[in-house]
Structure 1
Amino acid sequence: MGRKHDKKEEASIILEILSRIPLSKRFVSVDDILNSLASAEIDVSRRSLQRYLKQMYDCGKYGLVRDDRGNAYGYRRERTDSITDSIHLKPNECLLLRIAQEHMKYQIPGTVLKSLGFLFDAASEMLKEKGSNAKENQWLNKVCVISSSIPQMPSKVLPRIFDAVSEALYSEKKLRIEYTNMNGKTTSAVVSPLALVQQDVRLYLICQFDHFDNVVHLALHRFKKAEVTSFDAHRPEDFDLQSYIHDRHFNYSNGEWVHWILEFKSDVTAKNLEETPFNTSQKLTRKEDGTWHLEVDIQDSRMLDGWVAMWKNDAQITLSQKEYLERETDEDRE
């Protein structure tokens, strides 16, 4: 049985509940509200929440609309004259929330994202009310992030899968999963989640299987089941996300490093590479015949080969040569 709240606490809880019920035609369930409150560390039992919602609905002061067509009730709100009806967001705050919702939805844990749902709803509603000609709405069509790769539709990741994976990663708990690989083989296992990585339109979970020492990455859209366990995840002491990415490069590299020599004639390409070098080891010089000569230590990958193929004609590439390097390992340093 949950503890009793005093009048001041109850008033605060009612305001928190109201802020999580959207002023729109979209209904939210009791579970949605309960999960959002829990994510914000607001301690309310299901029975207490149902009681508060019934009282708020019956009194008729808060504009609550109840959907009682199913076994579980849903709730939304209609606008009234009450000051509790709106979350007061400035136009720039609405714009920032909308951009964050769109571009960071896979970088924020699912439970945290749900706890912010009422803010995203409020921002969307406020921008709609301003109309399509409002400067804030026009701004969304004035900025864009583009990829240098061929556009692809994002793979379908089930919301329940992402929620479970991100929750386990956030709370550092093991996951019980069912996963089907590229060859159609399905595996059931328990894994320790270590990191979540987005590469273009794909999401990968970096993890370690129970009873195995190696670290692997699994595509989230191939998960059939994902369940958070009560067991603490094991994080290898030597695991470093950036090192893993550099060594594996997610299906584009074998981890080998090369000393790359590139020669080309385009002054435009030279200017671009001078402004945005491959890394700090890059050296760019001009030969007596006017040809540009570039040397850099870089990770060998299909993306590197693709860059040469893509820019061969425009950059007027005359030479692309790789010399494999011996990289110092942790064992060598010891």
Structure 2
Amino acid sequence: MPRVANQNNISDALIVITILKQIPRHWITASQIQQNLAELGMELSPRRLQRILESMRECDELQIDVDKTNRPYGYRRSVPDADLVIDNLPPTQSLLIRLFEEHMHYQLPAPISGSLRYLFDKASLSLKEQGATDKMNRWLKKVAFVSGCVPMMPPRILERIFNAVSEALYRDVMLHVKFENSRGEQNEADVSPLGLVQQEQRLYLVCQFAGYDNYRHLALHRISEARVLDFQAVRPEDFSLDKYISERHFNYSNGRRVRLILEFTSPETARNLSETPFNTTQKLQKLPDGAWRLEADMDDTVLLDGWIAGWREKAGIRKVEKVLIAEKA
């Protein structure tokens, strides 16, 4: 076995182990490995890292592949990291991992998603090994997610685009993007990524264009190129994604806050709304004539109007009133 990075030196051995943990089953460049190490507080020069990687690649037991067709070179492991080797994953855990993978696909940054790939694959394999008639294997077909909106097929997002965007967000660095706007015009810009928002089937990057202080939304399926830059992203100190969303930038709001007053006759709707109220301001009471009255402070949105229109007949809605509370400045 070749000598790897001064094996007799404990410090060097720890460096090799740390580097090994940064090499996933998908391709990663030396510069990306160096950045990951820097985030862990381990500073290595590019030249030293390259020497260590070359020695590690020559060690057959580590099973590291290198792609020299392009620069910078790509590295990957053909076996999973040792701390993720799981021979017997219990069926219940396999099911939870499979559901997590399905519903968190676009919420995980690419570096984390890639490092969990083996775990996802192992969960799928474990379920298949239980047999086609196994109860646990069939359970996945007995669980479903139903959206409250009109179903639509999700737009196609290129994997390399999602990986670049999530990596830039994860590392807090800038992106160079080429994209098409809603009018079909082609543009390109350097942007500071601030957040990723999934709204039903669409995925949006909240960002600031270089030289501007306003916030923009870029639909990922309209981005044709995304390149991670080595420049630190400019993130406003007062920016909070939760606060930004709460300010109604993603719910088709007209900027008004209203007190919604509904009167309806359906006891089933009354039960549903008592179990899942609109918010903590909601008040629901039964009227003397057997109907129900609801009051709640709400954002005046297209989604709210759609809910009222969709339930008007089934809920027996006989009165709709919106009393203006405030209007966004």
The one-letter amino acid paired with 2:176 is: R
- The answer to whether residue 286 in structure 2 is matched with residue 282 in structure 1 is no
Deviations 1:92-113 (A, max 9, x none): 3333322222211211110111
Deviations 1:294-334 (A, max 9, x none): 111100111111111111111011011112222587xxxxx
Report the equivalent of 2:170.
170
1:19 to 1:207, Cα distance in 2 relative to 1, 3 A: closer
* CA apart distance, 1:151: 1.5
Distance in 2 of aligned mates of 1:127 and 1:297? 47
SS of 1:139's equivalent in the other structure is helix
- Runs of 4+ deviating beyond 3 Å: 7-21, 28-55, 70-77, 83-86
- The answer to whether residue 7 in structure 2 is matched with residue 6 in structure 1 is yes
Report the equivalent of 2:87.
88
Distance in 2 of aligned mates of 1:132 and 1:120? 19
Distance in 2 of aligned mates of 1:212 and 1:16? 38
Report the equivalent of 2:140.
140
Q: Is the 8 A contact 1:35 1:115 kept in 2?
A: no
Structure 2's unaligned 5+ residue stretches are none
* CA apart distance, 1:6: 0.9
Report the equivalent of 1:97.
97
Report the equivalent of 2:60.
56
1:306 to 1:93, Cα distance in 2 relative to 1, 3 A: same
Q: Is the 8 A contact 1:30 1:50 kept in 2?
A: no
Report the equivalent of 2:184.
184
Deviations 1:39-82 (A, max 9, x none): 6879995665566555528xxxx9x8x9x9x99999857xxxxx
SS of 2:198's equivalent in the other structure is strand
* CA apart distance, 1:262: 0.6
SS of 1:120's equivalent in the other structure is helix
The one-letter amino acid paired with 2:302 is: R
1:263 to 1:16, Cα distance in 2 relative to 1, 3 A: same
* CA apart distance, 1:32: 8.6
SS of 2:149's equivalent in the other structure is coil
The one-letter amino acid paired with 1:4 is: A
Distance in 2 of aligned mates of 1:211 and 1:34? 27
Distance in 2 of aligned mates of 1:232 and 1:36? 17
Deviates more, 1:107-116 or 1:5-14: 5-14
SS of 1:225's equivalent in the other structure is strand
Q: What's the Cα RMSD here? A: 3.7
Q: Is the 8 A contact 1:191 1:209 kept in 2?
A: yes
Distance in 1 of aligned mates of 2:241 and 2:125? 38
Where do residues 247-266 of structure 1 align in structure 2 (5 Å cutoff)?
247-250=247-250, 252-266=252-266
Distance in 2 of aligned mates of 1:74 and 1:112? 15
* CA apart distance, 1:148: 0.9
SS of 2:189's equivalent in the other structure is strand
Q: Is the 8 A contact 2:30 2:50 kept in 1?
A: no
The one-letter amino acid paired with 1:185 is: E
Distance in 2 of aligned mates of 1:5 and 1:102? 43
1:245 to 1:75, Cα distance in 2 relative to 1, 3 A: closer
Q: Is the 8 A contact 2:208 2:214 kept in 1?
A: yes
Distance in 1 of aligned mates of 2:94 and 2:169? 29
Distance in 2 of aligned mates of 1:216 and 1:199? 15
Report the equivalent of 1:25.
none
Distance in 2 of aligned mates of 1:13 and 1:284? 63
Q: Is the 8 A contact 1:262 1:295 kept in 2?
A: yes
SS of 2:141's equivalent in the other structure is coil
The one-letter amino acid paired with 1:205 is: L
SS of 2:5's equivalent in the other structure is coil
Q: Is the 8 A contact 1:154 1:201 kept in 2?
A: yes
TM-score between both structures, scaled by the size of structure 2: 0.79
Distance in 2 of aligned mates of 1:193 and 1:123? 32
The one-letter amino acid paired with 1:223 is: I
Report the equivalent of 2:204.
204
SS of 1:254's equivalent in the other structure is strand
Report the equivalent of 2:119.
119
* CA apart distance, 1:224: 1.4
* CA apart distance, 1:194: 0.9
Report the equivalent of 1:154.
154
Distance in 2 of aligned mates of 1:133 and 1:51? 48
Q: Is the 8 A contact 2:22 2:33 kept in 1?
A: no
SS of 1:257's equivalent in the other structure is strand
Distance in 2 of aligned mates of 1:135 and 1:271? 34
Distance in 1 of aligned mates of 2:5 and 2:253? 58
Deviations 1:263-289 (A, max 9, x none): 111111111111111111111112222
Report the equivalent of 1:324.
324
1:20 to 1:146, Cα distance in 2 relative to 1, 3 A: farther
Percent of pairs identical after alignment? 43
Number of matched pairs: 310
1:306 to 1:179, Cα distance in 2 relative to 1, 3 A: same
Q: Is the 8 A contact 2:5 2:52 kept in 1?
A: no
